[in-house]
Amino acid sequence: MMTTPNRFSGRLAVIGGGKMGEAIVSGLLASGTVPADRITIAEPVGARRDELASRYSVGVVSDGIQALGDADMVILAVKPQAVDQVVKGLSQALARAVLVSIAAGITCARLESFLPEGSSVVRVMPNTPVMVREGMAIVSGGSSVSDEQIQTVAGLFSAVGRAIVVPESAQDAGTAISGSGPAYFALVVDALARAGVAQGLTRDTAQALAVQTMLGTAKMLEETGMHPEALIDGVSSPGGTTIAAINVLEDRAVRAAFAEAVSAAVRRSRELGS
C-alpha cells in the first residue's frame, strides 16, 4: 500500500552521514518535512562532518549517543557490516525511539536481538533519488512496532518520493529492484549516451536525449498505468526503426541479463543479512 506524505513533528537522529544519510537529510529539508533544528547527524569522520555542516544547518556531531539525545526516530545509515556494533553500542539509548534501519539485508529480528524487549524497529530500503525527492522506499515493521509508527516512518519517506509498506519477506527482492535500481537505469543511460556518441552526437546531446526519454517513459507508464509491452508496441511501427532495435536487444537477451542481475542482488542481500 502506497502511503501519503506527512510532516514529522518529533526529533530525528541520523547515525552515519554517508551517501544515504545525506541524501535522506537533504530530501527531508528540501521538502520541509522536518526542520533543520530537529535533525542531528552522527558521523565519525571529521572532514565529512565539516562538509555536512557547511551544506545543512542541522546538528552534526561525532558521537551516536549525543546525536540520539531525546530523538523520537533514529535512522541508522551505516554500512550493513557496521550495524551490529553500532546498534549494540546504542542499545539502551535507543529504547524509547523508533529505530529505522536502511541497511541492506539486515532483518528486523537481528536488530531486535540487540535491543531491549519490545523495542520499535522498522526496516526501510530507500534509494538515492530521495535526494531529488523521487525516492522509492520499501518499509516493513518489526515484531513490536505499532501500525501507527510504521505509517509515520512511511509518511516521512513519502515526503521524499514514494513509500510502500510490505511484509519483510519482500525486502530482498525489493532491494534488488528499487534499492539497486538507480544504478541499472544509469547504466542504460550511459550505454545509450555512448551509442549516440558513436553515431556522431555530442556526449551532452546524447545524454540529454537518453535522460529525458527515460523520464518521459517513466511518467507515461506511471500516469497511464499501461503495460510496458503496450508501450513498446505503440512505438514499434511496422518495418520501422524501433522494431529493428528491439529485435537486437531481444537477441542479446537483455531481459535474461536483468533477471540474472536481480537474482544476484537478492542473493547478496540475503548474504549481508546472514
Ligand X SMILES: NC(=O)c1ccc[n+]([C@@H]2O[C@H](COP(=O)([O-])OP(=O)(O)OC[C@H]3O[C@@H](n4cnc5c(N)ncnc54)[C@H](OP(=O)(O)O)[C@@H]3O)[C@@H](O)[C@H]2O)c1
| Binding residues vs ligand X (CB under 6 A) | 15-21, 42-45, 48, 64, 77-80, 82, 86, 102-104, 125-128, 179
**Which of residues 154 and 206 has its CB atom nearest to ligand X in the complex?**
154
What residue number has its CB nearest to ligand X? 18
For the bound state, the minimum distance from the C-beta of residue 213 to ligand X, rounded and expressed in Å, comes to 23
Sign, Cα dihedral of 243, 249, 251, 253: negative
- Least CB distance to ligand X at residue 19 (A): 4
Question: Closest distance between ligand X and the C-beta of residue 194, in Å?
Answer: 23
Burial class (CB in 10 A: 0-12, 13-18, 19+), 25: buried
Query: What minimum distance in Å lies between the beta carbon of 72 and ligand X?
Result: 19
Closest CB 241 distance from ligand X, rounded Å:
35
Q: How far is the CB of 239 from ligand X (least distance, A)?
A: 42
Query: How does DSSP assign the chain, residue by residue?
Result: -B-------S-EEEE--SHHHHHHHHHHHHHTSS-GGGEEEE-S-HHHHHHHHHH--SEEES-HHHHHTT-SEEEE-S-HHHHHHHHHHHTTTTTTSEEEE--TT--HHHHHTTS-TT--EEEEE--GGGGGT-EEEEEEE-SS--HHHHHHHHHHHHTTEEEEE--GGGHHHHIIIIISHHHHHHHHHHHHHHHHHHTT--HHHHHHHHHHHHHHHHHHHHHH---HHHHHHHH--TTSHHHHHHHHHHHTTHHHHHHHHHHHHHHHHHHHH-
Kindly report the number of other CB atoms within 10 A of residue 192's CB atom: 17
Which CB, 110 or 206, lies closer to ligand X? 110
Q: Is the dihedral of CA 24, 28, 31, 36 positive or negative?
A: negative
- State in angstroms the smallest separation of the CB of 76 from ligand X: 8
